[in-house]
A and B are shown apart, each in its own frame.
Chain A
């Protein structure tokens, strides 16, 4: 089995809820509530789930944009949550993040040369003399060119901005790139261009990805293994082709059957979940899916199921896996 690059153990992130209007009790939002997984070298690890299930928060905690409430995150065997500021500086460049909204990572007042060049200069990977040359090499890597060096972000289309976001993330030669919904704001034709680019970069540069998305089709296409999140928990994790062909958790099955398939002969969703997703500040007892699960028994309402092996390299947290 391939070498483990990143290992996440019992990661928890609770947001101390602001006192809600007329609500006497403070209830923390249990955004991420004890998840464990590892990312192998050169792998794309997909993280899927509906909005609010805790995908971005997981990414932020690993990149240490956010501080987790509890848990351990080992990068190349070192618990990075225990590192001090100076030690973390050395690690940080190895873990980079790309966001859904490329505007957020680009300063509108800086030219491409400045915003992509800044991290290179700060980390001593370029000098004033060769920074232009090095930025140009990065731009070429993502399909942009010399004509873009002195432009400002507003002069770029959405797809081009995402290319810049990727160039910036790659500037420091990272090992792991966390891609948080990198194509969700883009049109399908541009999304396809970016997905092709990400694939090519991965094999050329030997990158590992955590690919976060609510778009199951895209995750299926890009990821080697996929983890399905539901209300702050991982409910299923397995090799992508296996998980999509034969999901073992009832939630995964419902989620997959809800994807509209671009084939008119395909029968529409077989399983339609009733009602709304419960709130992450008051998740249901036991299995958090039990209120909407067809197969739920008394046990499901009482006891939280562990993430257990259900097949080779395949885990599911369910008392009655499919």
Chain B
């Protein structure tokens, strides 16, 4: 393991056994996060972002879940080999997680302050009084107006943006090395999203924490991440430094996603929609999982899975044609639209 890497996921396979069959939700995931780095994990719904993050903290319920292979090295130790007690100890102190819906992690019948104090006592092994002091400090850090009053509130008395601040304050109170943030701003309005993203960025920088930021929004990625991994149907298809991903996307799916965002300078152009729909992960397509929707696919794509192709040291693409650069990001589009089934 590279010493600079805080987290290294190698060849993770994560399946769910359902009565309809086995959902092959994550298939051979490789991902690294180094110290102080913010890595984005992007992709459309169902591609396996959340379950990958949950697996890091051992939060996949088994059954129906099943880790069918791989390693998750955190500071060199395989988290998949840890006992539930060891993982509980890691959670909050070394690795924290925030979710899209803060209410899913808060108890509606307890005051926000009491919940923060409980969590801080657990993560920091401090007295109640000390925990209270830390809670107030953290609420101040997340720029909460009137922290004392906030401590007395019940979750339902607060807006989504304020609750997400509470969650960030609570989860960062243990000074974790790694924050897993699963769509933390997806449920918020844009102006509140801007507040929360700025705040998270400043706080993790100050604490020198690493972040794995899960989102489906390429705009959020561009504004917050150092590196990005693009997922499609349970696999990472492209990893690159953020700037390089946007200036030189190599995977047809990455290009397709970029073409789906309306370009403000081309109001009259048709959007380069990606044809078809995401595959069923019980029977994923053979070969490259993207081949049925891929505008570039050749005969080989349906037969073999493309291995990693290194474009540069830190730009890796899983596509047979990755070395053929193209300036035209919209080539994935069809301009037809009529026969496209949503």
Contacts and interface: CB of A to CB of B under 8 A. Distances in A.
Given A157-B277, A261-B219, A262-B246, A192 B198 contact: no
B272 interface: yes
7 contacts: A50-B189, A189-B274, A193-B273, A218-B262, A258-B190, A262-B221, A273-B191
Contacts, number: 146
A260 B223 contact: yes
A188 interface: yes
B101 to A, nearest CB: 15
A214 B188 CA distance: 11
Contacts of A197: 337
A160 B44 contact: no
Interface in B215-256: 216-224, 242-243, 246, 256
Nearest to A256: B190
B145 interface: yes
B259 interface: yes
4 pairs of A and B residues whose beta carbons are closest in the complex: A159-B342, A260-B219, A221-B262, A192-B273
A50 B277 CA distance: 29
B197 A260 contact: yes
Interface of A: 50-51, 143-144, 157-160, 162-163, 186-197, 199-200, 214, 216-218, 220-222, 240-241, 244, 254-255, 257-266, 268-269, 272-273, 275-277
B63 interface: no
B172 interface: no
Given A258-B190, A260-B197, A272-B194, A189 B260 contact: yes
Nearest to B192: A276
B76 to A, nearest CB: 31
B283 to A, nearest CB: 16
Given A159-B342, A259-B219, A262-B218, A195 B257 contact: no
Contact of A216 (B190, B224, B260): B190
A176 B338 CA distance: 22
A193 B189 contact: no
Contact of A196 (B45, B197, B243, B337): B337
B337 A217 contact: no
A262 to B, nearest CB: 4
Contact of B191 (A220, A222, A255): A255
A203 to B, nearest CB: 11
Nearest to B190: A258
B224 to A, nearest CB: 8
A260 B193 contact: yes
Interface stretch (B86-94, B113-121, B133-141, B263-271): B263-271
B159 interface: yes
Given A160-B341, A192-B260, A260-B219, 20 more contacts: A50-B189, A51-B189, A143-B340, A143-B341, A192-B259, A193-B275, A193-B337, A195-B271, A196-B337, A218-B262, A221-B262, A259-B219, A260-B223, A264-B223, A264-B242, A265-B243, A269-B194, A269-B198, A275-B145, A276-B161
A263 B275 CA distance: 24
B105 interface: no
A262 B219 contact: yes
B162 interface: yes
A214 B190 contact: yes
Contacts of A221: 262, 264, 267, 271
A240 B162 CA distance: 32
A50 B223 CA distance: 21
Interface string B160-202: 0110000000000000000000000000011111110110000
Given A143-B338, A258-B191, A260-B217, A268 B198 contact: yes
B339 interface: yes
Contact of A200 (B218, B272, B337): B337
